Amino acid sequence: MLRFAPSPTGDMHIGNLRVAIFNHILSKQLDEELLIRIEDTDKKRNIEGKDKEILEMLTLFSINFKRVAYQSENIKYHTQMAMKLLLDKKAFNCFCTADALEMDRDKSKEEKKPYRYSGFCEDISDEAKFNCNAPFVVRLKKPEKNIKFKDLVKGEFEYKPFDVDSFVILREDKTPTYNFACSIDDMLFDISTVVRGEDQLPNTPKQIHIRESLGYDREINYIHLPIILNFETGKKMSKRDNSSSVKWLIQEGYLPAAIANYLILIGYNPPVEVFTLEECMEWFDIDKVSKSVAKFDITKLKYLNREHIKMMDELRLSKILGYADADLGTLGKIYIEECDTIKEIKSKLTAMFSTKDTLEGFEEEYKLLKQCMLDAPYIADFNNLKEYITQQTNLQDKKLIIPLRYALTGATNGPNLSEIYPLIKNYLGEIIK
């Protein structure tokens, strides 16, 4: 089984979506189930409703899942596992106060050494512990030998016991820490492959050490995906970059198919540039994912968005634009010439169907033309329409074309009217107003 393990602490980040997509592709290719595990144990950071939003987002991207698990429901197992580690003397109660730990940290800083736990409580006798009423956390003893693992994208890693350290697995309130809950859950759900962001890499030796301490010997395959950088600044895409939020991209009118295409394309060298998620199942090979960081280039995403809009069924596009007629989907595609997103195309159609009272610089001509069109019979052909208006009003050339374009589209420039007119001729009653 594979798992996608989002924390419900904010809008879904494109990096997380990329992880979800890669998990989805691999689960299909390996023919293994994909579990969605909501990592909700950090109660202070959880935001109500974000779990549902993440699940809706996954559905929007056609990432299907059968099972959703909430990490908080497993706390009883996390506690039991911590008890086992205590009984086996692989973990110990640590009574060190926050102040004492802070002093140790300051000392390490002064000495310019990385901070590590002093080991002070590691050898306290059971009797002393029994007599001590002070609050305590539970720490896992650092490993006795190096922790090694192979990442399928990034290669071999080896961490010394000193790097792993004796770290906290249960907090003072006896809730599990992130690494402990995550590691136990990967074990309980019999996870075979973990795909996640490379920001999680330092946690991996700790999580392996937890499972090894419990005697769990199934090796988990790890894949840590490179982080995504802001194209301009070259820094990690932060929550402040609007385009790092999947919700923002959707609201701006980027199609899920185009976003998915883009997130697979960066850091991969695919046989074709424009593809669907289903198509990529055929050739996608996780071993070929680039090790290096990926840069988020919105211009490229815009290009892919236009390509996916072009590929879309006209009726479906029309529905996405808020209508239910394939002709309006075709019209939307004509606007691709000057629009990158669904939102931009929508605004063109909104302008078209809005009330247009007057046109600056052509007030008289527009008034005349609008009245003429309101009184006109149904005319199917665009050239015949122009001829009819000229006959009735004497308007010609610029004085005809500019007010006519405005009356038909709500704009003074845009794609060829002769292409647009056949698609909107049945809507003149709603357009000329």
Between residues 40 and 340, which has the closer beta carbon with respect to ligand GLU? 40
Among 2, 6, 91, 280, the residue binding ligand GLU under the rule CB under 6 A is 6
- Dist CA 285 CA 28 (whole Å): 12
Per the CB < 8 A criterion, the answer to whether 259 and 249 are in contact is yes
SS3 270: coil
Between residues 36 and 423, which has the closer beta carbon with respect to ligand GLU? 36
Q: Whole-number minimum distance, CB 39 to ligand GLU, in Å?
A: 4
User: Residue 276: which of 288, 265, 263, 260 has the closest Cα?
Assistant: 260
Find the binding residues for ligand GLU in span 290-329 (CB under 6 A): none
Between residues 197 and 415, which has the closer beta carbon with respect to ligand GLU? 197
Q: Whole-number minimum distance, CB 222 to ligand GLU, in Å?
A: 10
Q: Whole-number minimum distance, CB 203 to ligand GLU, in Å?
A: 7
Find the binding residues for ligand GLU in span 237-276 (CB under 6 A): none
Instruction: Check binding of 7 to ligand GLU (CB under 6 A).
Output: yes
Compute the half-sphere exposure of residue 75: CA atoms within 13 Å on the CB side of its CA.
Answer: 14
Q: Where are the beta strands (DSSP E) in 203-324?
A: 221-225, 228-230, 294-296
Instruction: Check binding of 196 to ligand GLU (CB under 6 A).
Output: yes
Between residues 107 and 150, which has the closer beta carbon with respect to ligand GLU? 150
Between residues 13 and 356, which has the closer beta carbon with respect to ligand GLU? 13
| Interacting span for ligand GLU (CB under 6 A) from 2-10, 75-83, 166-174, 232-240 | 2-10
Report, in angstroms and rounded to the nearest whole number, the Rg of the chain calculated over CA atoms.
30
Q: Whole-number minimum distance, CB 192 to ligand GLU, in Å?
A: 14
Q: Whole-number minimum distance, CB 415 to ligand GLU, in Å?
A: 44
- Dist CA 65 CA 433 (whole Å): 48
Helices (H), 321-396: 326-334, 342-352, 363-375, 382-393
| Interacting span for ligand GLU (CB under 6 A) from 1-9, 51-59, 110-118, 355-363 | 1-9
Report phi then psi at 228, rounded to 5: -105, 130
What dihedral do alpha carbons 134, 90, 222, 33 form, nearest 10°?
Answer: -80
- Dist CA 402 CA 360 (whole Å): 11
Find the binding residues for ligand GLU in span 330-359 (CB under 6 A): none
Between residues 170 and 182, which has the closer beta carbon with respect to ligand GLU? 182
- CA angle centred on 365, ends 405 and 336, rounded to 5°: 10
| Interacting span for ligand GLU (CB under 6 A) from 4-12, 242-250, 336-344, 376-384 | 4-12
- Dist CA 277 CA 291 (whole Å): 21
Binding footprint of ligand GLU, residue count (CB under 6 A): 7
Q: Which two tokens stand for residue 222?
A: 């790890």
Among 63, 137, 181, 182, the residue binding ligand GLU under the rule CB under 6 A is 182
Instruction: Check binding of 8 to ligand GLU (CB under 6 A).
Output: no
Per the CB < 8 A criterion, the answer to whether 16 and 36 are in contact is no
Instruction: Check binding of 5 to ligand GLU (CB under 6 A).
Output: yes
Among 200, 244, 341, 409, the residue binding ligand GLU under the rule CB under 6 A is 200
- Dist CA 307 CA 254 (whole Å): 11
Q: Whole-number minimum distance, CB 250 to ligand GLU, in Å?
A: 19
Q: Whole-number minimum distance, CB 288 to ligand GLU, in Å?
A: 22
Between residues 4 and 421, which has the closer beta carbon with respect to ligand GLU? 4
User: What does the buried/exposed string (b/e) look like for 150-183 if buried means 16 or more CB atoms within 10 Å of the residue's CB?
Assistant: ebebbeebebebebbbbbbbbeeeebbbbbbbbb
Compute the half-sphere exposure of residue 88: CA atoms within 13 Å on the CB side of its CA.
Answer: 16
Among 12, 39, 167, 414, the residue binding ligand GLU under the rule CB under 6 A is 39
Q: Whole-number minimum distance, CB 213 to ligand GLU, in Å?
A: 18
CA 287 to chain centre: 22
Instruction: Check binding of 179 to ligand GLU (CB under 6 A).
Output: no
Which residues of this protein are in contact with ligand GLU, per CB under 6 A?
5-7, 39, 182, 196, 200
